[in-house]
Amino acid sequence: MPRHYLDHASTAPTRPEAIEAMYEWQKLSSGDPGRIHAEGMQARHALEEARSGVAALVGARTREVVFTSCATESIMAAIEGAAGRGHHMVVPAVEHSSVRLGAQRLADRGSHEVTIVGCNRDGRVEAETLLAAIRPDTALVNLQWGNHEVGTEQPLPEVAAACRTHDVLLHVDASQAVGHTKVDFASSGADLMSFSSHKFGGPTGVGVLLVRRGLRLDPLLVGDDRERARRAGFENVTGIIGLGAVCRSLQGARLVAEQDKQRALTGVLMEGVEPMAGIHVHGDRQHRLPHIACLGIEGIEPQAVLLALDQRGIACHSGSACSSEELQPSPVLEAMGVDAHRSLRVSVGWNTAEVDVEQLLDVLPAVVNQLRSLGS
């Protein structure tokens, strides 16, 4: 049975250019990029070439790119690094759990207060509400580029401009945006931006934190002066080279073409489920990431839907974005005021074909009807 992978928002299959670049590098005698012998300098050159590719894709200076192990580490580095600038943080309720729990840990220590900001039923945060939460002692405002469960994009330009006026740092979690839509760090107004390689076809084990030029942060990991003393620990050179290859391949027309294709595929899905009884689309239909669609399915537990689809060769996701063995209600959907227990997240990516979405639309009505009949 052919498989139809529709869970790119969790992780995307590694692109061939990344695999090839990593394979070619592993055939070499790799050295420590922190050393001045020939092998070390070769590794340093490869690392900096990859950094240039990443910077070019996201509109950043090379010196603003800090390599980490994953987006979660990047997020924690942003939160912990900014903590010393004040005793208060602003966190929308629809942020990824790493943002929410990272800020909450500061509150649990007693060093900070955290203001949670709500959203509308489409998952969009109102800029005025978010900005009203800023205080004189606010260290950091967090605002994701686009939501990881429903795809809703947030009002970044308005919030960034106001944060500059208030002289407050802004951290943007762009994990679901980079590699799927155009991201320009320089023009975004963000001070800090985090994302991960594996969300758009790069290798696992590599994350990025963009740090605005001139901004000084205390590093999360200490022990040496790697990454210009902003992140200690031996760099994942092989993975970073793979990420660099992907970023170089996405510059220009290819990213636009992939974005348009992904938006068209999720559009077909959203239109296709409209006639299906008891199934509706969550999220903002106008301000949305191109590759994510979230469906509310009335009256059926998500585990049953996921298992039935998997038996038919289709991989999707449901529930809290970082739940693994046990599906948990989605804090994002709870904040939106919709059913947080019964959802199906469908996410496409670089290698998704029309047949993958068509297969889901073909089998979903039968799956839902069968499960509803069993429950009646």
Cα separation, 77 vs 221, in Å, equals 8
322: annotated active-site residue = yes
Give the neighbor-by-neighbor strand order of the sheet with 279-282: 279-282, 292-297, 343-347
Exposed/middle/buried for residue 356 (C-beta within 10 Å: 0-12, 13-18, 19+)? buried
CA-CA distances (angstroms) from residue 30 to 42, 132, 202, 241?
A: 8, 51, 20, 12
**Contact (CB, 8 A) for 279 and 296:** yes
Residue 207 half-sphere exposure toward CB, CA atoms < 13 A:
21
- Cα 370 to Cα 364: distance, rounded to the nearest angstrom: 10
Q: Pull the structure tokens for residue 296.
A: 């509310």
Task: Extract the runs of DSSP E, i.e. beta strands, from 188-332.
Answer: 192-196, 207-211, 279-282, 292-297, 314-315
Catalytic residue, chosen from 119, 247, 316, 322, is: 322
Residue 140: which of 160, 114, 169, 115 has the closest Cα?
169
Q: Which residue has the tokens 């693994």?
A: 324
Could you give the residue numbers annotated as active site? 322
